[in-house]
Structures are given as structure tokens and as C-alpha cells.
A and B are shown apart, each in its own frame.
Chain A
Amino acid sequence: MTPRRKRMLIIALCVLSVGIAVALILTAFNQNLMYFYSPAEVARGEAPGNRAFRLGGMVVTGSVERGDAKDLTVRFKVTDFVTERAIAYRGILPDLFREGQGIVAIGQLDADGVFVASEVLAKHDENYMPPEVAQALKDGKAQQAAQP
């Protein structure tokens, strides 16, 4: 191989590997993007049925039900003051999970329209409202005011 052809080969290999890397990265990126939806948007059918997304809202007071099962199944509802959505979760809830508190859950809708959460987030302090939830609640209230 002449030095010139060798150099061309190296350049071609570099371009190829960069191309593969970029393709891999973008595929992984695309597969793991999670959009945020409010309960109203889920009710309107905007949320995807077959992939995970984030659902946020205020935990409806009095909606938290714990079975006495050993596996810690818990069911509750979140609201954006327009509609409510039932969430099922198995495991330990975060320290700051409370009724009347804004939370974000990550998961998927099941066949019955229940949001099966794999993770429930309620970090930060007691005054903190996740920004997406704050926006969803504001939108929900505005919508209600517009249609008395």
C-alpha cells in the first residue's frame, strides 16, 4: 500500500467510525427522550400508548390507597384540576410524597388507562413544585376559568 492509499484508508475508517458513533448516539437519544404530559393531555389521548413518559400533577387528597400486600403496592390519583389520572406504583415512595403535593411519575399507560409508574419523584423542599407541574396546574386552572 502506498502511503497515500494508507492515509486515505485511515481517513475513511475515521469517517466511518464517527458516523457509526453519531448514529448510535442519536438512536439512543431518541429512544430515551421522555416527554411530559399533564392529566388533561393524557385524557385527550395526546400521550403515547407504547412508550414511557412523565406524568405530573397534584396528588389528590384522600386518593392514596395502600393495600396491605407485602410488596407495597400503592394507588393514588394526580390532578391538574381539569382531570384526574390513576397511578399505580410498587415500592417505597419518596420522603416528600404527600397528598396535596406536586409529583412527577415516570411510567406507561396500561390497557385500562392506569398509569403504571416505575418511578415517583418528589424531591426538593416542601415549597417546591416541579416546574412542569406548576405549569400544568396553571394551564388547568386557566382552562377552568375560561369555561365556567
Chain B
Amino acid sequence: MIPELGHFALAIALAISVLQAIVPLVGAQRGNVLWMSLARPAARAQLVFIALAFAALTHAFITNDFSVAYVAANSNSALPLAFRISALWGAHEGSLLLWVLLLAAWSCAVSFASRGLPLAFVARVLAVMAIVSVGFLLFMLVTSNPFLRELPPPADGADLNPLLQDFGLVIHPPMLYTGYVGFSVAFSFAIAGLIGGHLDSAWARWARPWTMLAWCFLTLGIALGSWWAYYELGWGGWWFWDPVENASFMPWLLGTALIHSLAATEKRDVFKSWTVLLAIGAFGLSLLGTFLVRSGVLTSVHAFASDPARGVFILAFLVLIIGGALMLYAWRGASMGVSASYATTSRETFLLANSVLLTVACGTVLLGTLYPLVLDALNMGKISVGPPYFNNVFVPVMTPLVILLGLGQHARWKQDRFATLCRELRMPLLGTVLLLGAAVATMSDARSPRAIFGLALAAWVVSTSIGGVVQRCRQRSSPWRAFLSMPAAYLGQHLAHLGFAVTIVGVTLVSLNTVDLHTRMAPGEHSELAGYDFHFVAAVPLKGPNYAGTEAQFEVTRKDGTAIRLSAEKRNYHVRGMPMTEAGIDPGLTRDIYISLGEPLDDKAWSVRLSVKPFVRWLWLGAMLMAAGGITAMFDGRFRRVAARPVERSVSADSVAP
């Protein structure tokens, strides 16, 4: 009964979203206040019904209702409760339900946090979000309904893929999806701006906090995914340029370009059409990513053929949303008005150059991800693009990006003099050399040319950030007061750039200096790696709620005699008969020790992977700093004042609005 209620709630949500997509939009065109004001209550009602559907499916998972086909395929009565709940988003249908739930949540948030915005604008934003929602709800109800019954029910479920039975999966998809879906807000703001014809700095100021919040979630979601892959897949990799990862990385790259371009649009009323294109692109890639990952298109293009309805629907929906947005852009783009002018040497130029570089980076990832799919779909051979492609392309694109980032942090808006800029950059340059020197002097790992190159880039970001803050404060009458009362957006900018530098350090050092040893070890044996002695103490049997296995206990001793105990596990999950590796990891700020078990060899010996991974934690630490920067910037008072004075133009004194 409850699954049917869930199904019914979805159908009602669809009806509401159809209303929400049409009535406010028409109302906004005609100036009908009553029709426009339908948008807010509709968005809230939609959330209520989708939440009901979500609760119904969760109930089916918790109570082990295996008559629901989706539950039977992805859960099992022996599965621990937390994983029974997270199993909901472990496969295609459930993750779509999570997607629409989050979309409804974002719409509802917009409906509450948009009091100061013009009604027509809010009506259009919510209507565009509802159009996306209609597409997803239809897709679910027609091709991927999670509430379908299978009678008679199987005695027990087929279990959740053991790879997904992990804390990482409990939080990674919701984070990532919140980010993906959050770009729908930026997208809707862009579309609403195009329809209404007022894409100005006020518009950018409304869109900025939403876009930053979505970007923060996406950043954290990607970092969590990387962390999960690192400890759960058992081979210690943190990024594989796998199509699934690329699908989340592409919207991130465009989203990063978008938040920077939006900042310029807000402050200086420039790049308006470029910002709108980025908003459309970031959301388009989020849609593409969602479908690629969960619909089985990526593991095989032939999944299209196995359920042609799904593939056709996906393509049609993508074409409709993105094609429609681009057509609107072509039609209305001219109405955006002239942008303010700026000189060649100005912060605008550096921001524009970097958003172009980010777009180029995104394009190269897109090429490497989609080309094999297209070729396969056209029956022109099966190829794959190796990780070296992405690595070879990424470094040359990111290098100028980092250099320009440093220049941009110092350049003035509108117009700067190249000579002045160079003079101001002398201190940061000195800082870079000092930081780099300190790193090279203290770490033997940092002495290869490539390590020095990577660390120099990171040091450049750090010292230009610090230099920017110092320069800003020194211009004020009381530097200390200026330092303490830094605007949140400015603080957030530097926090995020600092995070970027930390990630660069992590990527550089862990990629270049990881030491690995694959070896055969029996209990009692020792192996030596990177100054550590690995002692395989014992292998003991292990029993969990739905698995059994072996726990290998290790003692790792450093040269100075300090010892740590680590245990790596090999589990065999009963229902799917699937072996899983649980790595033993000793995390540290400057290095991780990583042990994972391969397979049992004869006479008690195991194949064992031992690794020492320098600075691997910095990858995720950097991502956390970036997200913290975004959140900080969001709370800038400027964005809140907007609510009180909706039609106010740009507040910055140097802004020249046409």
C-alpha cells in the first residue's frame, strides 16, 4: 500500500510541477500578479509530495519490502539499517528520485529566500526549475519507476553492491547531487533574466550566492568521491579520469568559471552573455553527468539499445532543455545591452582569460569522455582514452591559469598599468621564491624538477593571495582595522585560492612521490619500503553482519622505532559472492601509509600492496578549504542587503553602468 502511495505522490508532484511550469510563466508575461504568485506555494507543495514519495521508498527499504522490484534488486534483509537507507540511491531509479527531491528542495529554498526579488523574476525562475522537474518526473514515471511491484516477491533481496556498502556512499551522492541540482538555480536565473531582459549587475548579485552554494556542494561531493575511491577500491588511487568521475568534474570546471564570471558581471557589469552561456553549460553538463553515470550509458552504449525508451527520452530531454536555452539565448541575447568597457590590463581580462582556460579544460575532458561513446555508437571501433591524455593536457592548461590567477588577484578593476602591476608583484614573487626554497630545503621529496614546478605554482597562488590582502589593507588609513573588517566575499576568495594551492601541493607530491610495493607476504614476514618496516603479524578470520573474511594485522615501524598497528581486510559478501578489499590506512598530514590485501596465495601467504603516499590528505584538505571559501563568500553582507533593496543598482563606486 505504501509504495502505491509513493507512486501516487509522484504523480501529484508531476501535476503540480506542470502547473508551476506554465501558470507563473504566462502570468509573468501578462503581468498577472495572481498567476505569478502561484509559483511559490506550488514549489513548496511539490517538495511536500516528492518528500512523501521519498519517504515511501525509504519505508520500503527499511521494512525489507521485496515485493518492490527496486528494493529487491538493491537491498537484502541482512544489510545493516544505515546501508538499507542509503541503498535507495544506490542505483538508477532511486538516484533519480533523490535528484528530483533535491531539485524540489532548491526550488523551495528559492521560494523562501527570494522575498526581495521582483515577483515576475521569481515566478520565471521557479517556472524554469519546474520545467526541469517535469522532465525528470516524467522520465521516472514512464521509464524508471522505483515503485513497481514484482509479484510474487523474491524470498530475499539481491543485496546492495558491496562497493557501495560504505559510509562514503551514504554521503557522497547526496552531496554531489546537491551540487549538480544547485546549478539548476543559476540556470533558471539565467533563463529568467533572458526572458525578462534584465541581465545586469543586480541580477548577478542575486545569482551569486546560489551558484556559490551549489559549487561548494559539488566541490565537497567530488572530494568525497575521490576519498571514497581511495580507501574503498583497494588500490590507493584517488583519481582515475574515469568517465564517471569526469562527468562530475566537467560541471565543476564550468561552475568554477561561472562563479568568477558572475563576480565580474556583478562588480563591473561585464561578460554578461558569457556568464549566461556558462550558466547554461554548467547545468547542461550536470544533466549530462547525471544521465551518463546512472543510466548505464557509460559502461556500455548498448544499454541504450536494451531500453531504447530511456535513451531516447534522455536525448530528447537534453536537446529540449539545452537546445531551448541556447535558442532563447540567441534570440534574446542581443537585449542584454552593452557591457562596460575595460582595458587590456585589468582584472576583467585576467578573469576572462581564466574562465576561457577553465572552459578549454572542460572541453578536453568532454572530448576524452564522449569521443569513445560516439565512436562506439557509430560502430566505428571500440576505443578508450587513457589517463595520460588527461594528465598531458591538464598540466599545460592549468599552468597559465595559475599564473593568471596570481596576476588577477593584484590587478585593478577596469584599468591597471602593466608597469604598476609588475612593481606590485615583486613582493609576491619574492614570497614564492622563499616558500619554494623552504619547501625544497625541508623535504627531500620536493627536489625533482617536476615537484619544484608544481610547488612553485602553489607557492605563487599563496603569496599572491597574501600579497593581495596586504596591499588592500595598506591602502586604508588603518591597516589593522581594514584587515579585521575584510568583507566576507574577499576573505572567501582567498580561502578558496589557498585551498586550490593546497590541492596543487597534494596532487604534485602524491603523483610524483608515491612508493608502491606489490609483494608476497606470509604472517611473520617483514618488508621494507620508504624507511618503514612492514611486519605481517597475523591473519585472523573475520565475521561481519553480511560478510566473512580475513583480517591481516600489520605492524609498521619507522626507523626511529615508533610503531603503528594497521589491519587490512579481505571480505567476502555472502549474497553476491563478491570479494571486497578494505585497506588499512594510517592517515597523516605529510604521508599516508596504505596496506591492502590482494589474494590468498598458497600456504598462508597473501599478495599484499604496501604504499607510502606523501601529502595525499592535502587533496581533500584543499577541497574543503575551497568549499569553506565559497560558504564564507556567500555570507557577505552585500548579498543580504540585496533582499532589502531589490532594484538597487551596483553598489561599487567604480562601477559604470550604462
Binding site for B on A (CB under 8 A): 6, 10, 21, 24-25, 28-29, 31-36, 52, 54, 66, 68-72, 90-93, 95-97, 106, 124-126, 128, 131-132, 135
Interface residue? B514 (CB, 8 A):
no
Residues of chain B within 8 A (CB-CB) of A71 are 518-519
Complex alpha-carbon distance, A63 and B520, angstroms: 20
Q: Is the CB of A96 within 8 A of B578?
A: yes
Q: Please give the distance in Å from B31's CB to the nearest CB on chain A.
A: 45
Complex alpha-carbon distance, A72 and B608, angstroms: 9
Residues of chain A within 8 A (CB-CB) of B300 are 131
> A125: which of B302, B371, B518, B578 is its contact (CB, 8 Å)?
B578
Per-residue interface assignment for chain B, residues 162 to 193, with 1 indicating a CB less than 8 Å from any chain A CB and 0 otherwise: 00000000000000000000000000000000
Q: Please give the distance in Å from B303's CB to the nearest CB on chain A.
A: 9
Residues of chain B within 8 A (CB-CB) of A54 are 384
Given A33-B389, A126-B576, 10 additional A-B pairs, CB 8 A = A24-B393, A29-B371, A32-B392, A36-B382, A66-B601, A71-B519, A95-B580, A131-B302, A132-B382, A135-B382
Q: Please give the distance in Å from A77's CB to the nearest CB on chain B.
A: 18
Within 8 A of A (CB), among B378-393: 381-386, 388-389, 392-393
Residues of chain A within 8 A (CB-CB) of B389 are 28-29, 31-33
Interface centre among A33, A35, A90 (most CB of B within 10 A): A33
Q: Please give the distance in Å from B594's CB to the nearest CB on chain A.
A: 13
Complex alpha-carbon distance, A69 and B602, angstroms: 12
Complex alpha-carbon distance, A28 and B368, angstroms: 10
Q: Is the CB of A36 within 8 A of B384?
A: yes
Residues of chain A within 8 A (CB-CB) of B302 are 131
Q: Is the CB of B367 within 8 A of A21?
A: no
Residues of chain A within 8 A (CB-CB) of B577 are 126
Complex alpha-carbon distance, A64 and B645, angstroms: 73
Q: Given contacts A92-B518, A124-B299, are A35 and B381 in contact (CB under 8 A)? A: yes
Complex alpha-carbon distance, A126 and B235, angstroms: 19
Per-residue interface assignment for chain B, residues 358 to 379, with 1 indicating a CB less than 8 Å from any chain A CB and 0 otherwise: 0010001001100100000000
Residues of chain A within 8 A (CB-CB) of B602 are 68
Residues of chain A within 8 A (CB-CB) of B385 are 29, 32-34
Complex alpha-carbon distance, A31 and B234, angstroms: 29
Q: Given contacts A92-B518, A92-B598, A126-B576, are A33 and B383 in contact (CB under 8 A)? A: yes
Q: Please give the distance in Å from B365's CB to the nearest CB on chain A.
A: 11
Residues of chain B within 8 A (CB-CB) of A52 are 386
Q: Name the residue of chain A whose CB is nearest to the CB of B371.
A: A29
Q: Name the residue of chain A whose CB is nearest to the CB of B571.
A: A95
Complex alpha-carbon distance, A106 and B299, angstroms: 17
Q: Is the CB of A25 within 8 A of B599?
A: no
Complex alpha-carbon distance, A2 and B99, angstroms: 55
Residues of chain A within 8 A (CB-CB) of B234 are 95
Q: Please give the distance in Å from A33's CB to the nearest CB on chain B.
A: 5
Q: Given contacts A25-B364, A126-B578, are A93 and B598 in contact (CB under 8 A)? A: yes
> B520: which of A24, A72, A96 is its contact (CB, 8 Å)?
A72
Interface residues on B, range: 35 or more
Residues of chain A within 8 A (CB-CB) of B67 are none
Q: Given contacts A25-B367, A72-B607, are A95 and B581 in contact (CB under 8 A)? A: yes
> A21: which of B381, B386, B397, B599 is its contact (CB, 8 Å)?
B397
Complex alpha-carbon distance, A31 and B385, angstroms: 9
Q: Please give the distance in Å from A18's CB to the nearest CB on chain B.
A: 8
Residues of chain B within 8 A (CB-CB) of A131 are 299-302
Residues of chain B within 8 A (CB-CB) of A34 are 383-386
Complex alpha-carbon distance, A132 and B381, angstroms: 10
Per-residue interface assignment for chain B, residues 496 to 531, with 1 indicating a CB less than 8 Å from any chain A CB and 0 otherwise: 000000000000000000000011100000000000
Q: Please give the distance in Å from A124's CB to the nearest CB on chain B.
A: 7
Q: Name the residue of chain B whose CB is nearest to the CB of A92.
A: B598
Interface centre among A36, A93, A95, A97 (most CB of B within 10 A): A95
Complex alpha-carbon distance, A29 and B389, angstroms: 6
Per-residue interface assignment for chain B, residues 574 to 613, with 1 indicating a CB less than 8 Å from any chain A CB and 0 otherwise: 0011111100000000000000101101100001110000
Q: Name the residue of chain A whose CB is nearest to the CB of B357.
A: A21
Q: Given contacts A25-B364, A72-B518, are A92 and B383 in contact (CB under 8 A)? A: no
Interface residue? B396 (CB, 8 A):
yes
Q: Please give the distance in Å from B397's CB to the nearest CB on chain A.
A: 7
Residues of chain B within 8 A (CB-CB) of A69 are 520
Ordered by A's residue number, 17 sampled pairs between the chains whose C-beta atoms are within 8 Å are A10-B344, A29-B367, A31-B388, A32-B385, A32-B389, A32-B392, A33-B383, A34-B386, A35-B381, A68-B520, A92-B598, A92-B607, A93-B598, A95-B580, A96-B579, A125-B161, A131-B300
Complex alpha-carbon distance, A93 and B606, angstroms: 12
Q: Given contacts A25-B367, A28-B389, A93-B598, are A35 and B383 in contact (CB under 8 A)? A: yes
Per-residue interface assignment for chain B, residues 385 to 425, with 1 indicating a CB less than 8 Å from any chain A CB and 0 otherwise: 11011001100110000000000000000000000000000
Residues of chain B within 8 A (CB-CB) of A32 are 385-386, 388-389, 392
Q: Name the residue of chain A whose CB is nearest to the CB of B364.
A: A25
Per-residue interface assignment for chain B, residues 61 to 92, with 1 indicating a CB less than 8 Å from any chain A CB and 0 otherwise: 00000000000000000000000000000000
Complex alpha-carbon distance, A40 and B580, angstroms: 33
Residues of chain A within 8 A (CB-CB) of B596 are 92
Complex alpha-carbon distance, A97 and B235, angstroms: 14
> B579: which of A72, A95, A128 is its contact (CB, 8 Å)?
A95
Residues of chain B within 8 A (CB-CB) of A68 are 520, 601-602
> B599: which of A36, A92, A106 is its contact (CB, 8 Å)?
A92
Within 8 A of A (CB), among B110-163: 161
The 7 A-B pairs with the shortest beta carbon distances in the complex, nearest first, are A92-B598, A32-B389, A131-B300, A36-B382, A28-B392, A32-B386, A91-B518
Q: Is the CB of B360 within 8 A of A21?
A: yes
Complex alpha-carbon distance, A32 and B385, angstroms: 6
Q: Name the residue of chain A whose CB is nearest to the CB of B596.
A: A92
Q: Name the residue of chain B whose CB is nearest to the CB of A132.
A: B382
Complex alpha-carbon distance, A132 and B379, angstroms: 12
Residues of chain B within 8 A (CB-CB) of A132 are 382
Interface centre among A6, A29, A52, A124 (most CB of B within 10 A): A29
Complex alpha-carbon distance, A101 and B368, angstroms: 28
Q: Please give the distance in Å from B359's CB to the nearest CB on chain A.
A: 12
Q: Is the CB of A36 within 8 A of B578?
A: no
Q: Name the residue of chain A whose CB is nearest to the CB of B570.
A: A95
Complex alpha-carbon distance, A36 and B380, angstroms: 12
Q: Name the residue of chain B whose CB is nearest to the CB of A21.
A: B360
